Structure 1
């Protein structure tokens, strides 16, 4: 055996023999742990135990940064943060265990089962039907695991009136001038797509009553930020969130939160989009 191979074997042997070091007291970790217990409803969060054998530091980072730094910030309520997180994870479509955890967490902090379902239906507009269907499957698992929880279908009857006219009215209410620009930009090349956006996204989905407009726009901003491929649409929905009662601080908070779920590049690009919108609206 050559010297390099012997060295490698020695490193492997040493690394398996040394136990995970115990981190000193960390206010960020303790703050995050308390918040994680509130959201997750568990005294001993599974994220720590599940990583203890191979990546204990990642577990501590998840708690200290994700919860101690980000989710403990005062700019959004825990209910609003869970709406944003469920929307983003459902849209990403690659984090089913985490989506189930945060659906459960949403229920723990006051989001109703009907609102969870509505967030997942809303996902179909921004990430497609497969993402929405997979999200509903995750929600079903969570609901079935909670004893005594009953979930009844919401708004099963079609909303009366012309879908297109209803959609135009809701588009104007939510997105205002920004929405008009999106529609106008496609009329010359894809008029049918324009009609589908108005009829389905706004006439069918946004017009449903199970989720208020501010919650929908929080979820939309989170989804468009997390996806990382929808900068023009993100700007439209930042306008929309501001139009339906959201604040600049809430816009920044929901985008900042996405650093933990979609990475810093997605959050940085989201903040760049927000800056453009704030400047366009004449806000400092």
Structure 2
């Protein structure tokens, strides 16, 4: 079996001293997957390990890869993702995936933390109250998307206008305003949630544009897609690439 030296060394960085059972049961698969995901893909770009692992965790939430998430979370912590950052990824996912899909990841994260002796709850990251979450959420939308979002929470037909308000006070006021991750990181993980779950192309185009506004340019987003590809597959990666191209074209 010819796993490359780079793939072996990177695997050791992620999982010090761990030998996968798949080396025995599925050696051919392991050879090709590890050489691709942990050598060819990693060496295709200049992302640092922490950013790469942040994106992978978010993508695994998006594609519902709970077993792989519980494997990769310790690797992410070994490569510089902090417990607070990991928790913030899971918390923000609730707005984009719903608690029905996020619950197993919240539970799994706590299990991994307990196994590593990380005391819960972590230090609080809230910056808003129930009284000011709408105001702060609107400002977050404006900061990320532009001034046209100032009155967006009031827009739309009366019977559904409350959803636009929830987008401001809940999605942005409750989650984006938290510390632990900045706006640029939060837009990146949102991009990964949407790309990995699929079927959200209009929102993915919008958030690709928001990423670019935050400084995550087209080249960066292509690198993010590339690093997530082994974990979410080609169809959703190619769809995400198309959305990035459309967002880039519309911003010219």
Alignment of 1:265-280 (within 5 A): 265-280=235-250
What TM-score do the two structures reach when normalised by structure 2?
Answer: 0.90
Match of 2:119 among 140, 144, 150: 150
Is this contact kept in 2: 1:221–1:255, CA < 8 A?
A: no
Query: C-alpha offsets along residues 167-196 of structure 1, whole Å, 9 cap, x if unaligned?
Result: 11101111227x849x48961262111111
User: What is the alpha-carbon distance in structure 2 between the residues aligned to residue 271 and residue 242 of structure 1?
Assistant: 14
Structure 1's unaligned 5+ residue stretches are 1-21
Asked if 1:43 is matched to 2:12, the reply is no
Pairing 1:171–2:146 present: no
Structure 1 residues 72 and 144: alpha-carbon distance in aligned structure 2, compared to 1, 3 A threshold: farther
Name the counterpart of 1:17: none
Q: Report the CA distance shift for 1:266/1:97 in structure 2 as closer, same or farther (over 3 A).
A: same
**d(CA) in 2 for partners of 1:111, 1:124:** 20
Question: C-alpha distance in 1, partners of 2:43/2:119?
Answer: 31
> Structure 2 matches for 1:1-284, cutoff 5 A?
22-23=1-2, 29-40=4-15, 42-46=16-20, 49-53=21-25, 55-93=26-64, 95-147=65-117, 149-155=118-124, 159-160=128-129, 161-176=131-146, 180=149, 183=152, 187-188=156-157, 190-282=160-252
* Aligned 8 A contact 1:221 1:254 in 2: no
* Greater radius of gyration (CA): 1
Question: Number of aligned pairs?
Answer: 250
TM-score of the two chains, using structure 1 as the length reference = 0.80
| Contact 1:258/1:266 (<8 A) preserved | no
Please list every run of at least 4 consecutive aligned residues from structure 1 whose deviation after the TM superposition is greater than 6 angstroms.
none
- Distance in 1, matches of 2:13 and 2:206, equals 33
Distance in 2 separating the partners of 1:72 and 1:120:
27
How much is the aligned-residue C-alpha RMSD, in angstroms?
2.4
